[in-house]
Amino acid sequence: MAYIETKERRDGDPSFVVRWRAGGARNGKRESEVFDALTAAETFRDLVKAHGEQWPPGWTRGEGFVADRRRKEAMFEPFALAYVDRLTGIQGDTRAKYRKDVLDNMVP
């Protein structure tokens, strides 16, 4: 079971360490994450418990939930347009229509 341990830093301020064993097993790997605020530690502890004593998906150790830096739509647009450009057996006006459809309807 995940639990919170309060530690005192050298400057006297408290830190809150969430500790658990991977998968909740006795012989599971010891895991931990440090927080400055008790409420953040409690929220994280609850996430760990909800995910079967595992790191929550999308959580980066020491940083928290980090948004994917690669925007999915930014990756899709060049791929879709290159695909349309490589299509064979279509006329130029059809290619232009497909490109317009990609830009108008598939990319924000």
- Residue 73 confidence (pLDDT) above 80: no
Same domain, 57 and 96: no
- Residue 21 confidence (pLDDT) above 80: yes
Cα(34)–Cα(49) distance, integer angstroms: 16
Same domain, 52 and 83: no
Cα(71)–Cα(83) distance, integer angstroms: 19
Of 15-19, 54-58, 100-104, which one has max mean pLDDT? 15-19
Tell me the pLDDT of the chain averaged across its residues: 87
Strand order in the sheet with 14-21: 3-8, 14-21, 30-35
Number of domains, the chain = 2
- Residue 48 confidence (pLDDT) above 90: yes
Token pair in block for residue 91: 């006329």
**Among 62-66, 78-82, 85-89, 100-104, which stretch is predicted with the lowest mean pLDDT?**
62-66
Q: What is the three-class DSSP state of 66?
A: coil
Structural domain range at position 23: 3-65
Give the pLDDT of residue 6. 96
Give the pLDDT of residue 15. 95
Same domain, 22 and 61: yes
**Cα–Cα nearest to 80, from 61, 58, 108:** 108
Same domain, 60 and 84: no
